[in-house]
Amino acid sequence: MAKISTKKFDQIFSYFLELYPNAQTELNFDNGFQLLVAVALSAQATDKQVNKVTASLFQKVKKPEDILQMGFEDFEQSIKSIGLYKSKAKNLRKTAQILAQGDGVIPSTQDELVKLPGVGEKTAKVILHVLYHQPVIAVDTHVHRICNRLGIVKTAQPLQTSKLLETLIPNQYKQIAHHAMILFGRYFCTARNPKCADCKLQEICRYYKDLPKTKTSQKNR
Ligand code: SF4
């Protein structure tokens, strides 16, 4: 696959910045531990669902010890409306135990973060990016989809996309890439019915070029 040029990256990220000049996470939190809890809960759940749960949960949970003091059943019940809540409750309780036994500080490297129960590569990268402002890109389904549509990568799985993006995305865009791409995928280049007719990236978009001509002309009417 031909490597995307610097000029195209400039075009893509200028557009993302135009659309989302203040792109940031849509999860609500007040400190690093709450961020970790929110990100862990957000796997296969929407940020909106997570914020609904954490609005009351974070009244009680501000540090690892608070989850331990709540008791397991109470904690499990408080996140019950989130998918996979049973395994998330178990993992978060174990993580709270580990952090409470240490200095309570959220690790600042991917290697340390993924040792925490329930923390995978994507969760770790979100924490590194949001909490420690590191230029890493966590790849979710939105980022995976738009990178393939735009022709930045040609991959089947988000994990493959993640590995490639580390080297493909120019350094100057890594800090903004994560949230801007998520918002673009969530609200603009959606899985179904992307807003191609209004998109300024049509001329460089592989997905758009591959659309049947009739569909393309209809979309531009
Ligand atoms: S042209 Fe359509 S598919 Fe391509 S990036 Fe824009 S909205 Fe997404």
Among 3.40.718.10, 3.40.50.10490, 1.10.1670.10, 3.30.1490.20, name the CATH number for the domain at 6-22+137-212. 1.10.1670.10
Nearest CA to ligand 1 atom 8: 189
pLDDT class for 119, splitting at 50, 70, 90? very high
Name the active-site residue from 66, 88, 122, 125: 122
Name the active-site residue from 66, 88, 125, 140: 140
Of the candidates 72, 73, 52, 69, which has an alpha carbon nearest to the alpha carbon of residue 60? 69
The full set of domain ranges for the chain reads: 6-22+137-212, 32-132
Q: What gap in Å lies between CA 96 and CA 119, rounded to an integer?
A: 12
Q: What is the pLDDT of residue 139?
A: 92
- Listed in sequence order, the DSSP H helices in the chain are 6-19, 32-41, 47-60, 64-70, 72-78, 85-101, 110-113, 121-132, 141-150, 158-168, 171-187, 206-210, 213-219
Q: How many Å is the maximal CA-CA distance in the chain?
A: 62
pLDDT in tens, 206-220: 999 999 865 554 454
Amino acid in the structure at residue 201: L
Q: Judge whether 140 counts as a catalytic residue.
A: yes
Ligand 1 pocket test target in 199, 204, 210 with most atoms within 8 Å of CB: 199
Q: What gap in Å lies between CA 165 and CA 138, rounded to an integer?
A: 9
Q: Is 195 in the pocket of ligand 1 (CB under 6 A)?
A: yes
In CATH terms, the superfamily for domain 32-132 is Hypothetical protein; domain 2 (1.10.340.30)
Q: What gap in Å lies between CA 176 and CA 160, rounded to an integer?
A: 20
pLDDT in tens, 139-196: 999 999 999 999 999 999 999 999 999 899 998 898 888 889 999 999 999 999 999 9
Average pLDDT, the chain: 92
Amino acid in the structure at residue 20: Y
Q: Judge whether 213 counts as a catalytic residue.
A: no
Q: What gap in Å lies between CA 171 and CA 128, rounded to an integer?
A: 16
Half-sphere exposure of 147 (CA within 13 A, CB side): 31
pLDDT in tens, 58-75: 999 999 999 999 989 999
**3-state DSSP assignment of residue 45:** coil
Q: What is the pLDDT of residue 104?
A: 81
Q: What is the pLDDT of residue 220?
A: 47
Average pLDDT (72-95) is: 96
Contact between residue 40 and residue 92 where contact means Cβ atoms under 8 Å apart: yes
pLDDT class for 1, splitting at 50, 70, 90? low
Average pLDDT (37-49) is: 95
Q: What gap in Å lies between CA 2 and CA 163, rounded to an integer?
A: 17
Q: What is the pLDDT of residue 214?
A: 59
ipTM: 0.99
Nearest CA to ligand 1 atom 4: 205
The Cβ of residue 111 has, within 10 Å, a number of other Cβ atoms equal to 8
